[in-house]
Structure 1
């Protein structure tokens, strides 16, 4: 009886309420009272956490028994704050010069100076079998470290390995160089609407690391952002726009922007969807920023579905299996429960999973609808077909069924960007890297139509330059999308697709005719044949002609349109804010790649131009970019703070 009375009294004191999570949210500000994106927010004493979004906002569920949150960002003082009675917690972080002085970049990781004996010298890593190389820090032990002599011998230096990206893989990029119009008057490439590179680069920088050069795809950096272009008229699927000015990094060169804008279809007018979620549940996905983030992301997408849409779920680990047959989009509880019940463990039979997902998609094929497999993975396949070449052959075969493949990448450390880029490119789909729930919202809600619904397929551009006006040119980015000139008219040649409302920007850097330049190059005269003179007129104002080719989503025959660009550049400060902001992103990308064509590019110049061209930044993505560029400037080799100057 006494025991029962004790239980009742205890229950009364607790109000019969079981312990539960608290949902804490707020905004982080820097020392200038500006919203601070990319700040790490963790539940003190755990690995559970999140990041602030583009507007500095965060939200996190804190389990019972935990009462502190820790806020941290490189170069700022970390703060651990006790949660009060309110569920809103705003924080101001203060810059810390001491913290910056004590941080040394080691490979792509961070090490604090107190953990290192002696001074630091920056050296170049020896060539390895990795697909990229990185600057690393060496450590010199000794009592006279403070009086370190910069003419140090290599055998005094201990190379510190990268703890973060040893198992990450990126497809090598042979950067586009300048081509002379006399020898190559045509430039041909496939459009690319992917933006995975930008969010992946953001992940590196927000973790206090510069990304490997091959992780920086300049076209994806540029096309991460929304640009205010006018949509097409006369029932055409895509409109084309151009803008010509001076290249910010070389006043003697021109910079041409080609902008494409796809027709926007309201969500309620979009065709029905036959979706198969293909989810990696292998052991490598057993981390907070992998499978749990996948689950949260896909549930956001489920909330957008309509009764006419259908979803099936296929998973793979050591083997592949169906966990949910095709289910109507209005049965959200059923779909979400299936997603919530997923757990990670085992090896990774990605090839088997892809085959099964395409099989399920084909069984539920919707004629005239959006038939798509959505793969969520870190790309670490290790059972069955797993190499990049194996994946390419598999996807090229499966795409003939008329089913597209979209790839959502998650995680870090063993991230296989090269494999996922290949899958999306060959699968007539798109590729996004999801580093936080804000990026998931952008990809799967804000850009829902563009991510899932194709407006124009096999979109190609071909530019013909007038040698009377142009001496040489260079396409910025799109290295993995280059086409042969004869591919432009070949309707069997696969190219990129554009979704509802998508915008695409491409830049050409142009060396005008008559300008003395180091980039045009020269070759010796031919011995066995004389070059035929190319007839042209320098009196024409036409600088170039752009030809644009595409197919309607259900057609196998392409259509073509063209437009001319005249040699009438406008002053840089008179261009649109979109032109200048996109140019700033391009300049930033060249600096991250340490491009041999960066010329007079600087972080200061890119940041200044981006600030002036921020425009109507309603969602805060451009402000986030500016902060990102400022942090990259701190991490760049020319700005590393070394202990030897103490």
Structure 2
């Protein structure tokens, strides 16, 4: 009888509770003008802290209590929409553009605020110039919204909720003056009679693009020196065929008119590395070197590092091995080298990390190399993967000190890849140097979608080298070329003698990677401000030019590389004829990459931008979007449109 009574009471108790049903609402956010997806839109459940963002294809998904709740959709440059979903679990939204809403926003510290709320706290509204430390040299004037707020107004807007409340995606960049970027002096036009050779190291980093995206999505134009045009171009994959023989890399070329000056030519050099099937990739000996110092104690730093590295762990096989080293005030090993199929063990070690303390980066790098060398795989991929915001302040911390340390350590055969995280005190200049000298790649991971792109979609190209010390040397024919200019690659330019010097370090290419480089050409006979002359020499008589009979050749491209296990380079070459095709007859890849280069010049306010414009570049990018299966090109178009709005607003504010 007691047992029956207990069952009755239990049944009665259970029936007294009513379960709360939750349904999952998903959909796509589009631009109402062109019906293209909008990435980075904040989707927030009204009256709660629950929220998400749209991915590169404009998709979102969010839990909603059954029969309750409204959703707010907001993004910079658009009118916010608040919608109560109906019975359907699918909700597509079309946002309307609004320049007016952008004009009402100023950037304040880590967030934004309506202009009306800070005009009483500004030191000046017209003709403001932001001061900058000489060491950074970022030419920041006018790159923020044109006002400088006092510390009181900065404290008023510090949270994601505050930023989202004004229709803006969060988080926003901090003051760029607290960030460090290496100064860039743009490549100028050169005369092929006096300088017939152009030599540079091939580079496949793409950190600059995702960092620029972070600034624009936060409502600011990036500092000029944060914009590296070659990295923006090479963020995207291009449809190039791989080598048909045993070579590791194939070379492709295209020649047309330059979109920003149709009297000039634009030459595209495209490289495609061979693709190694995932099952055939060599075993990896990896050391995760993770910055757990106090500066990493932010949601978009250590927590994002942890989520990103766990994505990488999911790609590993039993023959791969992972060790984990952390550093703060000191460095230590938290996981000995462990087989890649022991994912729970590795992920638990990652989950147990926490941030605090100073930053002994040099000590951490030395320990990581030591462990990598201890577990060295002769035929494998030996690599240290550094995850940090680059803020070293204990021990070897200067750029020169770190550079020398990495140059010594790379002789062991262990590469160094650098993944940058965070904002505010982000040290791009340090991380670019480390990856460059460590024979590795450099990526900036601003969100989990970027982590998936870098560590999952492009896993082989990110971590597995198929050609090392890759160099290009182009010889221009003065009979056809009056002047030439390499777009970007300023930090990769080599002396002409370095091309044949196998001891000279250069960039690497990974499995399946593509690399694009552009040269702008001034043809012979074109009147141009960029073709300069000097007075005749007094003590030397100028020899009469004697050009070869190859009158139809514009240039010869020489390509030099080493096999991954070789110390001796191989050489191949391609001739480019002076047979340009109309711009609309070029490949979609040519036109899209050219549009990225044009936007890059505008963001840098390049002295060589000539007739470049946001409108022209955006139209060309839209027409050349192609299949865009991952949505990255559509995302670029949205960024370019936002940059145009920000540039226009900045110009109006500075009046």
Give the TM-score, by structure 1 length. Answer: 0.89
Report if the CA contact (8 A) 2:145-2:649 is conserved.
no
Deviation at 1:29, TM superposition (A): 2.7
Q: How does 1:169-180 map to 2 (within 5 A)?
A: 169-180=180-191
The alpha-carbon distance between structure 1 residues 278 and 25, as it changes in their structure 2 partners (threshold 3 A), is farther
- Answering whether residue 443 of structure 2 is matched by residue 455 of structure 1, we say no
The alpha-carbon distance between structure 1 residues 291 and 529, as it changes in their structure 2 partners (threshold 3 A), is same
Q: Report the equivalent of 2:291.
A: 280
Q: Secondary structure at the match of 1:505?
A: strand
Q: Secondary structure at the match of 1:529?
A: coil
Q: How does 1:161-560 map to 2 (within 5 A)?
A: 163-537=174-548, 540-560=551-571
Q: Report the equivalent of 1:121.
A: 126
The alpha-carbon distance between structure 1 residues 290 and 387, as it changes in their structure 2 partners (threshold 3 A), is same
Q: Report the equivalent of 1:28.
A: 29
2:308 & 2:54 partners in 1: Cα distance?
16
Deviation at 1:337, TM superposition (A): 1.0
Deviation at 1:71, TM superposition (A): 3.4
1:275 & 1:56 partners in 2: Cα distance?
34
Match of 1:590 among 601, 604, 615: 601
Match of 1:93 among 87, 95, 101: 95
Deviation at 1:58, TM superposition (A): 3.2
Higher mean C-alpha deviation, range 53-62 or range 409-418:
53-62
1:13 & 1:538 partners in 2: Cα distance?
95
1:548 & 1:140 partners in 2: Cα distance?
49
Match of 1:51 among 34, 53, 58: 53
1:339-392, Cα deviation, whole Å (9 max, x unpaired)? 111111111111111111111111110011000111111111111111111111
Q: Report the equivalent of 2:76.
A: 74
Q: Secondary structure at the match of 1:606?
A: helix
C-alpha RMSD over aligned residues? 3.1
1:141-189, Cα deviation, whole Å (9 max, x unpaired)? 9xxxxxxxxxxxxxxxxxxxx9532311101001000011111000000
Match of 1:38 among 26, 30, 40: 40
2:425 & 2:86 partners in 1: Cα distance?
38
Report if the CA contact (8 A) 2:203-2:492 is conserved.
yes
Match of 2:138 among 128, 132, 150: 132
The alpha-carbon distance between structure 1 residues 6 and 386, as it changes in their structure 2 partners (threshold 3 A), is farther
Deviation at 1:77, TM superposition (A): 2.9
Aligned length: 621
Unaligned runs of 5+ in 2: 150-172
Q: Secondary structure at the match of 2:324?
A: strand
Q: Secondary structure at the match of 2:483?
A: strand
Q: Report the equivalent of 2:577.
A: 566
2:191 & 2:90 partners in 1: Cα distance?
60
1:13 & 1:34 partners in 2: Cα distance?
49
Q: Secondary structure at the match of 1:615?
A: coil
2:631 & 2:213 partners in 1: Cα distance?
14
Q: Secondary structure at the match of 1:451?
A: helix
Unaligned runs of 5+ in 1: 142-161
Q: Report the equivalent of 1:112.
A: 114
1:103 & 1:25 partners in 2: Cα distance?
29
1:268 & 1:112 partners in 2: Cα distance?
54
Deviation at 1:288, TM superposition (A): 1.3
Q: Report the equivalent of 1:580.
A: 591
